[in-house]
Amino acid sequence: MINEELFTTLAARKLAGEATTAEQHELELMLQDYPELRERYQLLQQYFTVSAYHSSVETEQALQRTMSRININVNVTPVKRVFSWKWAGVAAAAILITAVAVVVLRPKQQRIEVARLIERQNGKATRAVLELADGSKIWLNADSKLSYPEIFNNHSREVYLTGEAFFDIAADPKKPFIVHLSSGSIHVLGTSFNIRAYENEAVQTSVKTGKVAFIPAYEAGKKPDTIYITPDEKVTYRKVVVDEDADKAIVKEVTSAEDDKAWTEGRLIFRDRTLEEIAFELERTFGKKVTFASDAPRYYRLTGAFQNNSLQDIMYYLARSKAFHYTITDSTLLITE
């Protein structure tokens, strides 16, 4: 059973920047055990950052603006600071928001400011280069999404990734950079690394410079080990289900970081990949729907390296190394035996 009162207290202290290490650990365990709590907490975390540069009036106005963004009606009484919340179906989340407001508006004069969450989503056949407020640079691959605050808070730099991105992080020992994934998180101070975290695929993280820590998503009642990765090392993580070998969930191996980030330079490198895996990559890169008319070609294993080649060129050379047929139209790539 969820201890709502404990969750509210822990979440409020964490968002106010006052949670102890033990309290943070306890909150993390609750978030892993109860997905519904994780959704509530992530919603608040994305909209709130701690700041010491705003007056009480500005703080209350910022709270009103934030709540209106997520469709919550707020009435603030300035003298007593009584918060009235109406959010049908999410009463517990409203209690959490109230607790956060009380903590950050207490006599210690810690203030809260709203950070606008920016979302960049690339469709297929689209890549982008982004520069964050701290000077960090991010290359975002096709069919990928990155969410990040307009301004980072005073304690950490946190972003959310689905898909693939290469990060070149500005060093700041006082503010760790954290990349949240659906199946874990990456923690760094200043380094460059590649993350591949598409839905329904294994997560892969490789390091070009510096050092990163990969922390898999918590399993119920168990805290996983932190995996440290240094240059030209890669970690592959697959969520395991019942009866699968947990030892195969995380694999650490030597890699070529230059190859892993080749896509940022218009290069595609396939090393002993199945044609089906290659097809998924080509679909993202060129935006054409790939269809297999028969199953056999899916499992052909192929190797090749290409730079700024057309889809026609790539398929021509792949088909010469392993016999199969293909047809390219304006919107599709059809592969047959």
DSSP letter, residue 222: B
pLDDT at 215 over 70: yes
Pairing status of strand 227-229 against strand 212-216: antiparallel
- Does the pTM exceed 0.85? no
- In the structure, how many helices (H) and strands (E) does the chain have? 8, 22
Q: What is the pLDDT of residues 235-277, one digit of tens each?
A: 999 875 544 554 458 899 999 999 999 999 999 999 999 999 9
The CATH architecture assigned to 266-336 reads 3-Layer(bab) Sandwich (3.55)
Neighbours of 276 (CB within 10 A): 15
Among candidate residues 294, 299, 296, 336, the one with its CA nearest the CA of residue 315 = 336
Rounded Cα–Cα distance for residues 132 and 150 (Å) = 8
Q: Which of 24-33, 37-46, 225-234, 246-255 has the highest mean pLDDT?
A: 225-234
The CATH code of domain 117-260 reads 2.60.120.1440
Give the pLDDT score at 87. 34
Q: 268: number of CA atoms within 13 Å, CB side? A: 25
DSSP letter, residue 247: G
List the chain domain ranges.
Answer: 4-114, 117-260, 266-336
Rounded Cα–Cα distance for residues 332 and 279 (Å) = 11
Give the pLDDT score at 334. 96
pLDDT at 2 over 50: yes
Rounded Cα–Cα distance for residues 115 and 117 (Å) = 6
**Residue appearing with tokens 């990349």:** 179
